[in-house]
Structure 1
Amino acid sequence: MPSLPPETTTAAQLAIRTAVAGDLVAITALYAREVDENVATYEYDTPDEAEMTRRWQGVVAQGYPYVVAEWDGAFAGYAYASSYRSREGYRWTVEDTVYVHPHFIGRGIGRALLQRLIDDCTALDLRQMVAVIGDVTNAASIALHERLGFRTVGVFQGLGRKHGRWLDTVQMQLALGTGNESSPQGE
């Protein structure tokens, strides 16, 4: 896969850059909060920094983008694209993941992170991006994806269970580049 640009500044106060090992403490802490308190992820047990490092290395080793947002130099969130499914026929489809620190919500950070993923994945000649949104009540994530062109393609009712309740899972999709209108390079 081609290499991605190392850094993009999207506003005077906001910088989106490629994640580095030093970011894993902050990434782990933000994800732990999501696991413990929310339903964006259906994971029950909070992974430690070693496990989050292993996951980050796995994403990067596969050539997918993994980025962080900084607001005036402070960690504000992270996002990455990863394989949608493991079968060979899905290799041009990715799933996006975006988490914004609660102190920075409402500043356009989620949009900047997701736009960076879209741009980077398009540059890699990937053709589809899928959002798997934990629960229909996650209106902010659904709205974010809609603003960047995703459309809802399905809702799985009662697909997961967390915090004592059944959760619906929203599936959204965005065509990247020419989508399925042409063959990818190197096929």
Structure 2
Amino acid sequence: MQFEPGDRRRVLPRHLRPVAAPEVFAYAIRPARASDLPHIREIYNHFVSNSVVTLDEGRSSIPYWREKFALLTRLQLPFLVAVSPGGVVLGYAVAQPWAGKNAYRYTVEDSIYLGPGAGGKGLGAVLLQALIDACEQRGIREMVAVISDSKAEASIRLHAKLGFVEAGRMGRVGHKFGRDLGTIYMKKALKPVRRRKLFGSGR
């Protein structure tokens, strides 16, 4: 059978038309760099302004993140980012000191935030597992998550999936957007590979 130029019958049936390959969600996990801080700030500030996942009410600044980055570098605590093949920061995970006394030096609090479009694809679990692994390599024994008791179900599920158990609740300890908010504490016992040198002895 022959078709004349312009004959609409030349259009292939739908099931025979070439289909564009689905976009692959690719990323790499690496330690954060100073150049990542503006992107990390924007991810965090999105949640500050639009959710009660964090109880911070004021948007963070670059000096704030530089100070945090310097502190965690000095304490040798992991600060990880997930980046796309094009170098875009998709999310970050950080382990920071739990409370302020030196006796808590083997316990850290984790924080994980994903940028727009990066949620629901398994990245949160990969980042949290990488953070756990990095903490165990540094001799950390306990990891604590402090989670809002409102609109943070995904975070609770994520931590439970990776072995965190609820350790307690405190109701109405926060107030944001005209609402009283509580916190849920979850904890995971780590398996440190080695005992790290003591950090923060001057605090």
Q: Structure 1 length as normaliser, TM-score?
A: 0.86
1:55 is aligned to 68
* Alignment length (residue pairs): 174
Q: Deviations over 1:45-79 (max 9, x none)?
A: 11111222212221222110001001333211011
- Asked if structure 1 preserves the Cα contact closer than 8 Å seen for 2:41 and 2:61, the reply is yes
Q: Which residue of 1 aligns with 2:123?
A: 109
Q: Does 1:71 align with 2:84?
A: yes
The one-letter code of the counterpart of 1:81 is A
Give the equivalent residue in structure 2 for 1:121: 135
Matched, 1:151 2:153: no
Matched, 1:30 2:43: yes
Larger radius of gyration: 2
Deviations 1:110-155 (A, max 9, x none): 1111111100001111100000012243100000000000001111
Q: How does 1:125-136 map to 2 (within 5 A)?
A: 125-136=139-150
Q: Which runs of 4+ in 1 moved over 4 A?
A: 183-187
SS at match of 1:41: coil
Listed as ranges, the gaps of 5+ residues in structure 1 are 1-10
CA RMSD of aligned residues (A): 2.1
Q: Deviations over 1:156-176 (max 9, x none)?
A: 111111111011101000000
Q: Give me the identity figure in percent.
A: 36
CA–CA separation in structure 1 for the residues paired with 2:168 and 2:84: 34
State whether residues 136 and 170 of structure 1, in contact with CA within 8 Å, keep that contact through their aligned partners in structure 2: no
Letter in 1 for 2:156: I
Distance in structure 2 (CA, Å) of the matches to 1:166 and 1:59: 31
Report the counterpart of residue 174 of structure 2 in structure 1.
Answer: 160
Higher-strand-fraction structure? 1
Supply the distance in 2 between the matched residues of 1:94 and 1:147 (Cα, whole angstroms).
19
The whole-number CA distance in structure 1 between the counterparts of 2:182 and 2:154 is 15
Q: Residue 155 of structure 1: SS of its match in structure 2?
A: strand
* Counterparts of 1:146 and 1:133, CA distance in 2: 12
Checking the alignment, whether the CA contact within 8 Å between 1:156 and 1:170 is kept in structure 2 is yes
